[in-house]
């Protein structure tokens, strides 16, 4: 019994997702909840677990394809042992989807989403390639390549060229995309099945290698892989691009400006661009700056890092900025609010969901720590460490990306002193934290070298007026300058 799994809405109201890589291949046996593929949406990259147990018969889209929510992406033969369909329903066109399973109908007319984010319980292995002469005709949309191999390096932005390998150019020219090879012979039989049977097999290569070949204009079909089992490696592609034999008859060389690249905007980067434009041109931004002597904070950081409560977590300057912001927000609750355009009301939130802007290979994301104000300093340190590590690994869960109420962006980790941050949509304030530098500072009547940083607070002037923004920023600065001030809050 063939069942098709449709791309579910893995977030709130998402309309499409990009298949980053397949974790199974045609012919693999899968179990319920085994990850099938990795998909990037506008908010995060997630693994989609299988709602069925059976054998994969077709991959309906290739890695790199953008698929609409609700479109079938894989066909699984359950052998009649799959999950039963809803009562009274009949399958049509070879498709059955059980209610409550991923991609199936859910209460309220929505599409059921993920069933979990657990680790893989099986490891998919590459099947030996069948001989071309005996290989059966592939099913429509089937992908016989092995897309589940782990890349040689952390995944780069799925919408950008692989930045670890630069295009090779000859005399200002870059090898263009290869013309599609046609292997039909003059005495080919008219039968479509016979034509499919003679079609050469798809070259074996990992998704990053396929992307590199596409960027360099190298036809993988003309390469012989040097890896295990004939797998084409990055070195094979780079060697083909560098050599004169890489361009078969019919290939074109396209003259372009040196270094020019075109990067499709999709996924997280597309969502971020749209959100920033909407925020910048909707909320009237005001930014205030404050320079702070944080020498005492730096000394306290060293003492706390040696305490057993903080073993295994990072005691960073960001931790103290986060704690100072939470304490100041408790004193000025209007800062932790949002503007409801439809109702023309200001919504003051009952808890602080603290967002931390994190730069990832796929773009900027802002996951948040739910109800961060209830956490102790050690608990907050652990939460921030886990949040940033998960974000940089591209494994942030969709629920961690929604519901933020106020954000910190740490530009200091890049050596930047300050900036004018743009509000995260739906929030009324964002604090930029700059680099800590040794600078001359008047301390106790004398100019001395002190540890100094700069804070920049952007806020929505419809919600926060100049006085409230100034008092809030001053309180954050006072807590960082003298952490003992926290006892008075």
Closest residue by Cα to residue 79 from 56, 101, 59? 56
**Which one is catalytic: 144, 285, 332, 461?**
461
Distance between CA atoms of residues 161 and 156, nearest Å: 8
Q: Is there a catalytic annotation at residue 61?
A: no
Helices and strands in the chain: count of H runs, count of E runs: 8, 22
CA angle in degrees (0–180, nearest 5) for 187-192-196 = 90
Distances (CA, A) of 27 to 30, 53, 179, 231, 352: 9, 13, 31, 18, 49
From the list 327, 323, 319, 304, the residue with the least C-alpha distance to 381 is 319
With vertex at residue 326, the alpha carbon angle to CA 276 and CA 403, rounded to the nearest 5 degrees, is 45
Q: How far apart are the first and last CA of the chain?
A: 65
Residues in a beta bridge with 72: 6
**Cα→Cα distances 161→217, 258, 417, Å:** 12, 15, 30
**C-alpha angle 381-382-385 in degrees, rounded to nearest 5:** 85
In the chain, % helix, strand, coil (3-state, to 5) comes to 25, 25, 50
Distances (CA, A) of 416 to 264, 396, 445: 28, 26, 29
Positions marked active-site? 461
């Amino acid at each position: 019994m063939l069942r098709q799994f449709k791309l579910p809405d893995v977030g709130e109201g998402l309309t499409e997702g990009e298949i980053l890589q397949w974790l199974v291949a045609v012919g693999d046996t899968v179990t319920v909840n085994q990850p099938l593929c990795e998909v990037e949406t506008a908010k995060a990259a997630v693994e989609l677990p299988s709602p069925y147990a059976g054998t994969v018969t077709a991959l309906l889209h290739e890695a790199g394809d953008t698929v609409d929510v609700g479109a079938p992406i894989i066909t699984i033969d359950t052998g009649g042992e799959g999950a039963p369909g809803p009562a009274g329903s009949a399958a049509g066109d070879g498709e059955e989807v059980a209610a409550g399973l991923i991609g199936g109908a859910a209460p309220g007319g929505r599409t059921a989403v993920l069933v979990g984010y657990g680790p893989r319980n099986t490891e998919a292995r590459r099947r030996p390639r069948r001989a071309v002469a005996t290989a059966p005709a592939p099913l429509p949309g089937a992908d016989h390549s092995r897309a589940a191999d782990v890349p040689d390096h952390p995944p780069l932005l799925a919408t950008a060229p692989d930045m670890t390998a630069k295009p090779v150019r000859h005399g200002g020219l870059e090898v263009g995309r290869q013309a599609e090879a046609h292997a039909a012979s003059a005495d080919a039989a008219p039968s479509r099945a016979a034509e499919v049977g003679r079609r050469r097999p798809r070259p074996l290569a990992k998704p990053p290698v396929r992307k590199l070949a596409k960027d360099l204009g190298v036809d993988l079909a003309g390469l012989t892989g040097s890896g295990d089992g004939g797998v084409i490696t990055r070195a094979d592609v780079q060697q083909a691009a560098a050599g004169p034999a890489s361009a078969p008859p019919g290939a074109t060389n396209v003259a372009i400006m040196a270094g020019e690249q075109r990067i499709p905007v999709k996924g997280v980067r597309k969502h971020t661009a749209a959100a920033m434009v909407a925020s910048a041109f909707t909320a009237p931004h005001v930014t205030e700056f404050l320079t702070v002597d944080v020498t005492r904070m730096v000394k306290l950081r060293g003492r706390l890092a040696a305490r057993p409560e903080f073993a295994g977590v990072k005691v960073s300057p960001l931790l103290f900025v986060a704690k100072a912001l939470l304490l100041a927000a408790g004193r000025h609750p209007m800062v932790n609010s949002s503007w409801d355009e439809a109702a023309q009301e200001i919504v003051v939130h009952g808890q602080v969901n603290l967002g931390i802007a994190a730069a990832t290979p796929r773009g900027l994301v802002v996951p948040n720590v739910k109800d961060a104000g209830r956490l102790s300093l050690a608990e907050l340190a652990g939460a921030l460490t886990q949040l940033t590590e998960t974000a940089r690994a591209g494994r942030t869960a969709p629920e961690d990306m929604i519901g933020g109420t106020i954000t910190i962006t740490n530009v200091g980790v890049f050596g930047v002193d300050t900036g004018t941050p743009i509000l995260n949509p739906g929030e009324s304030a964002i604090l930029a934290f700059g680099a800590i530098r040794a600078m001359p500072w008047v301390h106790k009547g004398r100019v001395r070298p002190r540890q100094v940083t700069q804070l920049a607070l952007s806020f929505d002037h419809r919600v926060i007026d100049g006085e409230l923004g100034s008092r809030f920023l001053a309180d954050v600065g006072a807590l960082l300058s003298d952490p003992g001030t926290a006892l008075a809050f």
